[in-house]
Structure 1
Amino acid sequence: MRLKLYRAPTMAEAMAALRRELGAEALILGSRRVAGGVEVTAALDPEAASPSGAAGDPLAAGGQRERREALAFHAVPEALAALLEEGDLATMLSRHFAFATLPLAAGAAPLLFVGPPGAGKTLTVARLATRLVLAGGAPLVISADGKRAGATEQLAAYTRLLDLNLLVASQPVSLARALTRRSEGAPVLIDAPGIDPFDPAAGAEISALAGAAGARVVLVLPAGLDVAEAADLAAAFAAAGALALVATRLDVARRLGGVLAAAAAGRLGLAEAGVGSGAADGLVPMTADFLAERLVRGVGPATARPPAEAYA
């Protein structure tokens, strides 16, 4: 593994130098403020930099039985699995699921990120802010989470590295006031508190925040959840206004049936996928090709058995 240390006056300059030298496959191992700017430690795995092999659906040639085994491994609900059993998997996913692009362009409506406690909302906001800064933008980042201890401090640690100001506004009135500080056309990212969506008062709180900001609501939900639980959560958050889904922890979750169940139950557009711990490279757009590859990765005779058998 090749390690390299980069120092620059700003995070954007450090990341630009890193990408020029190591490329898009570089892993961000850490970053910190130093005298005169920031310091970023990165690594490049030689194997990751080389071609990974053939693309596409590796189960397509194996027949319907292998596809069924893969979908069963992921605990995809039967009704959804029936839609995906035949044909190119990416094509079938595109046909039966919505894939969304988060509106981050200048002048777009603010984005309000919601979800249950611990879903990864704060890190998702930090990752999107990093993406925008690296592209030359300066988003307005707002913490509306006045409930979780340390939530504001966690997000502030990222915004300081990005040379962004973090505004704190946990009530609809203060949120509307914070938005008056938005630079013309700047994207707005709002980190909402983690809530129980089955509590009517909590759902009303999210609706009030979204209404005050004129925001589009994005659900952040971790992969690997029980399928029925994921579907219920997504439906409840959709009732509170969620339109799109960011699935986190795809780097550690092996079974993705919950992601599909959530998207279907909430009629949510699949937008982004959390694939690592880094702020700069830990979030990627969710596409049909990406999801198809994840559904078939590592699925075979040794892994497609019921989970309980592994402990027999």
Structure 2
Amino acid sequence: MRLKSFHAKSMSEAMRMVRQALGDDAIIVATREEEGGGVRVTAAVEEDDLVMASARAPHHAPPKPIIVEEPEIDVGEVVADVLHRHGVPAALSEQLIDAAASLDTDDPQLALGAALDSMFTFSPLHDKRTGNKPLILVGPPGGGKTLVVAKLAAQAVFKKRKVGVITTDTVRAGGMEQLAAFTRLMKIKLATVEDPDALAGAFEVNRGCDVVLVDTAGRNPYDREEMADLKALLAAGVAEPILVLPAGMDALEAADIAQSFKALGVRRMLITRLDMARRLGSLLGTAHRARMAFCNASVSSKVAEGLTPLNPMAFARLMMPPEAKAARAAAKTSPSKTKAVRSSSSRTIP
């Protein structure tokens, strides 16, 4: 048996490379997401299959049909069911189903991940590709910005990186005190600012830090005055604004909120409260309508349990967790059912 690994930017591109190099008889042995981006797929093929494929000519007799089992599940139906259960908007759901169906695999989770990869952008915080530009967390009230700042600071401290934390949340009762309690525990100095000029000064003070994080007060996306104040804070362009949005919202409402912050230059979206949401369709609808990239997610209210970087397969696992896959496997068609007859050249890559 011949084994070979392929690295590509997306799962569908990796599958094409497998077919080109090893042919249609190849089987997938393992898949994983790479830290620097992209995916790595390990495929295998019998040496005899390679010899037969290269030696086969028109005058040769066609290979004898062999009996192989049809896929025991309909991947398209499984993906459609998952999207329906999560409340994905109909038009978006149809596009994702079409993308999933174009991938030759009998693994619904893999098909869903490839479909997400084809339609959405995933760009985790502090990734090598995005650098260590200061981050300013923005969003509607109650989204969890302060907790996200604490989690990011804790992750950086754990990696022995120098951290600077700034807050502009001087209005909300207890907002500054909550963040101050977190930073004291981590022995981080907290800078408090009230206007854009003071924020620029705080950035200068923290210039030597590896990670600089800014917590802001929640803003009503429909209040022009509040959004104008936020726009003034972002005007310096020193920090990248990250939208912090909780899961479980109405799809249209969440999309409207995201578009309001998109108008201020926000390009990435961080999801919170995933531990309290079971339907994620609104998140996909929001990212699609606002043309925003997913970065990270918070799945716990505990500071010690940090943020999870999001990528297509990670999101697919959130929508189709292992226990759901196990339940579907148990409900597969019985092996005793009639098997179809195919030629060896018609096999697809699992």
Identify the TM-score tier after normalising by the shorter chain.
0.7 to 0.9
CA contact (8 A) 2:157 2:186 kept: yes
In the other structure, the counterpart of 1:121 is 145
Describe how 1:115-194 pairs up with structure 2 within 5 A: 115-194=139-218
Distance apart, 1:261 and its partner CA: 1.4
Distance apart, 1:283 and its partner CA: 1.6
> For 1:269-290, what per-residue CA distance to the aligned partner results, in whole angstroms no more than 9, with x for missing partners?
1000111122122421111111
In the other structure, the counterpart of 1:79 is 91
CA contact (8 A) 2:162 2:209 kept: no
Aligned residues: 246
Deviates more, 1:59-68 or 1:267-276: 59-68
In the other structure, the counterpart of 1:90 is 113
Distance 1:218 1:60 in 2: 43
CA contact (8 A) 1:98 1:270 kept: yes
In the other structure, the counterpart of 1:3 is none
Distance apart, 1:79 and its partner CA: 1.9
> For 1:39-58, what per-residue CA distance to the aligned partner results, in whole angstroms no more than 9, with x for missing partners?
xxxxxxxxxxxxxxx999xx
CA contact (8 A) 2:164 2:212 kept: yes
Distance 1:61 1:168 in 2: 57
> For 1:161-219, what per-residue CA distance to the aligned partner results, in whole angstroms no more than 9, with x for missing partners?
11100011121111111112114253210011101112222222222111236211100
Show structure 2 runs of 5+ residues with no match.
Answer: 1-29, 33-70, 102-110, 328-350
CA contact (8 A) 1:272 1:286 kept: yes
Distance apart, 1:107 and its partner CA: 7.5
In the other structure, the counterpart of 1:34 is none
In the other structure, the counterpart of 1:200 is 224
- The one-letter amino acid of 2:244's match is V
The Cα RMSD (Å) is: 2.5
In the other structure, the counterpart of 2:125 is 102
Distance apart, 1:139 and its partner CA: 1.3
CA contact (8 A) 1:143 1:152 kept: yes
SS in 2 for 1:212: coil
CA contact (8 A) 2:138 2:242 kept: yes
Q: 2:297 aligns with which of 270, 273, 283?
A: 273
CA contact (8 A) 1:127 1:279 kept: yes
In the other structure, the counterpart of 1:64 is 76
Q: Evaluate the alpha carbon distance shift between residue 230 and residue 299 of structure 1 in structure 2; reply closer, same or farther with a 3 A threshold.
A: farther
Distance 2:286 2:200 in 1: 30
In the other structure, the counterpart of 1:5 is none
> For 1:65-85, what per-residue CA distance to the aligned partner results, in whole angstroms no more than 9, with x for missing partners?
222121111110112111221
In the other structure, the counterpart of 1:32 is none
Distance apart, 1:131 and its partner CA: 0.6
TM-score, scaled to structure 2: 0.66
Q: Evaluate the alpha carbon distance shift between residue 144 and residue 67 of structure 1 in structure 2; reply closer, same or farther with a 3 A threshold.
A: same
In the other structure, the counterpart of 2:320 is 296
Q: Evaluate the alpha carbon distance shift between residue 98 and residue 143 of structure 1 in structure 2; reply closer, same or farther with a 3 A threshold.
A: same
CA contact (8 A) 2:152 2:306 kept: no
Q: Evaluate the alpha carbon distance shift between residue 261 and residue 60 of structure 1 in structure 2; reply closer, same or farther with a 3 A threshold.
A: farther
In the other structure, the counterpart of 1:246 is 270
> For 1:234-257, what per-residue CA distance to the aligned partner results, in whole angstroms no more than 9, with x for missing partners?
111111221111100111100001
Distance 1:123 1:143 in 2: 12
Q: Evaluate the alpha carbon distance shift between residue 152 and residue 69 of structure 1 in structure 2; reply closer, same or farther with a 3 A threshold.
A: same
Distance 1:220 1:154 in 2: 18
SS in 2 for 1:118: coil
Q: Evaluate the alpha carbon distance shift between residue 237 and residue 180 of structure 1 in structure 2; reply closer, same or farther with a 3 A threshold.
A: same
SS in 1 for 2:235: helix
SS in 1 for 2:219: coil
In the other structure, the counterpart of 2:246 is 222
Distance 2:290 2:136 in 1: 17
TM-score, scaled to structure 1: 0.73
CA contact (8 A) 1:146 1:170 kept: yes
- The one-letter amino acid of 1:64's match is G
Q: Evaluate the alpha carbon distance shift between residue 107 and residue 244 of structure 1 in structure 2; reply closer, same or farther with a 3 A threshold.
A: closer
Structure whose CA Rg is larger: 2
Distance 1:295 1:156 in 2: 35
SS in 1 for 2:314: helix
In the other structure, the counterpart of 2:27 is none
Distance 1:107 1:101 in 2: 10
Q: Evaluate the alpha carbon distance shift between residue 276 and residue 55 of structure 1 in structure 2; reply closer, same or farther with a 3 A threshold.
A: farther
